[in-house]
């Protein structure tokens, strides 16, 4: 057995030091790359949200509401969800939720119509370095599915979807609420596609709210039925699961998550029992 010469040990230290320096340099490069993309994507995300809010405010008056304890929601003591809430005059509740996780940024916009026979609208825009994943979904949370005006709106939404057929499609993960989805836009792209994806988001909301102006306001009984359907959907997310919902349940607990959904994210609590 060959004996190790004690004089050889000091020679190893420079090599180990070089290896550690290379590792640290690589880590630093990764951190810098993430920081650069994160800053760019936050700007892109904010631009998309601002464009959507501007498009909505052109159709209806938006009144900011106070999310109170849910203005900032921390998860895993690291990530922070920034939450905004609005009331859309004569329509219902609007919520905006944004999070920057460093390697990914995400914005969620949910329109929960209670006063009109309109679909619930949910948009999720995700930014991962130079990649974009954009979901724009419309849910049949309405008491009158066969209403002629409602069916006409769905046809208009399908036309909007066709307008953006040049964007690459992606397939969402199957979920329990698929039967409620009436129209869905599922697109992937790159940073260069941001203007088109932003316009798709605006067109979706504008189509719904423009049609809303031609619809009568629901009476109390109809509004109660509409609210019930929207609450069944939000409750279903809690009981059956959803990506963001599961995170909130784990971090906040089921009762607090339900309170957040009812008061802010979907806002059904503000429209009676």
Query: In angstroms, what is the C-alpha Rg of the chain?
Result: 24
Q: What does the pLDDT read at residue 195?
A: 97
Residue with token string 């969800």: 81
Average pLDDT of the residues in 92-101: 96
Whether residue 240 lies inside any domain: the answer is yes
Q: pLDDT digits over 81-95, tens only?
A: 999 999 999 999 999
The answer to whether 266 and 230 are in contact (CB under 8 A) is yes
Number of domains in the chain: 1
Does 13 fall in a domain? no
Choose among 6, 247, 207: nearest CA to 123: 207
Mean pLDDT of the 224-236 span: 96
Mean pLDDT for the stretch of residues 2-12: 55
What pLDDT was estimated at residue 5? Answer: 56
Closest-CA residue to 175 (of 245, 263, 259, 110): 245
The proportion of the chain whose per-residue pLDDT surpasses 90, expressed as a percent, equals 77
77 vs 47, residue with greater confidence: 47
CA distances, 103 to each of 40, 79, 126, 129, 227 (Å): 12, 11, 11, 7, 37
Domain that holds residue 263: 52-271
The CATH number that applies at residue 252 is 3.40.1500.20
pLDDT value for 76: 86
Determine, yes or no, domain membership for 262: yes
- Banded model confidence at residue 11, pLDDT cuts 50, 70, 90: low
**96 occurs within a structural domain:** yes
Does residue 108 belong to any structural domain of this protein?
yes
C-beta of residue 125 within 8 angstroms of C-beta of residue 134: yes
169-221 per-position pLDDT tens digit = 999 999 999 999 999 999 999 999 999 999 999 999 999 999 999 999 999 99
pLDDT at 22: 83
**pLDDT digit string, tens, across residues 109-123:** 999 999 999 999 999
Whether 3 maps to a domain, the answer reads no
> 6 falls in which pLDDT band (50, 70, 90)?
low
In a domain, 7, yes or no: no
Confidence of residue 31 (pLDDT cuts 50, 70, 90): confident
SS3 for 270?
helix
Indicate left, alpha or beta for 46 from its phi (over 0: left) and psi (-120 to 50: alpha).
alpha
For 241, left (φ over 0), alpha (ψ -120 to 50), or beta? left
Quote the pLDDT of residue 8: 53
Query: Which parts of 105-240 fold into alpha helices (H)?
Result: 148-163, 194-212, 220-240
Question: What mean pLDDT is predicted for residues 54-81?
Answer: 93
Residue 34 domain-assigned?
Answer: no
Confidence tier at 12 by pLDDT (50, 70, 90): low
Range list of β-strands (E), the chain: 62-65, 72-75, 79-88, 92-100, 105-113, 120-128, 131-139, 168-169, 181-190
């Amino acid at each position: 057995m060959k004996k190790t010469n004690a004089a050889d040990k000091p020679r190893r230290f420079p090599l180990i030091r070089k290896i550690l320096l290379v590792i640290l340099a690589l880590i630093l490069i990764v951190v810098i790359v993430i920081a650069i993309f994160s800053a760019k994507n936050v700007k892109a995300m904010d631009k998309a949200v601002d464009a959507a809010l501007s498009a909505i405010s052109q159709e209806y008056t938006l009144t900011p509401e106070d999310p109170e304890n849910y203005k900032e929601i921390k998860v895993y003591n690291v990530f922070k969800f920034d939450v905004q809430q609005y009331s859309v005059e004569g329509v219902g509740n609007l919520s905006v939720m944004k999070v920057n996780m460093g390697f990914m940024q995400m914005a969620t916009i949910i329109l929960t119509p209670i006063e009109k026979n309109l679909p619930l609208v949910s948009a999720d825009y995700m930014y991962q370095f130079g990649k974009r994943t954009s979901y724009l979904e419309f849910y049949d949370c309405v008491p009158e599915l066969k209403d002629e005006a409602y069916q006409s709106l769905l046809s208009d939404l399908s036309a909007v979807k066709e307008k953006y057929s040049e964007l690459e499609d992606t397939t969402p993960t199957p979920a329990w609420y698929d039967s409620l989805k009436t129209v869905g836009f599922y697109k992937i792209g790159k940073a260069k596609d941001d203007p088109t994806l932003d316009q798709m988001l605006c067109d979706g909301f504008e189509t719904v709210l423009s049609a809303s102006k031609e619809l009568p306001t629901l009476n109390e009984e109809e509004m109660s039925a509409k609210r019930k359907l929207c609450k069944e959907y939000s409750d279903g997310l809690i009981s059956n699961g959803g990506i963001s919902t599961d995170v909130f349940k784990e971090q906040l607990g089921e009762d607090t998550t339900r309170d957040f959904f009812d008061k802010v994210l979907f806002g059904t609590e503000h429209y009676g029992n």
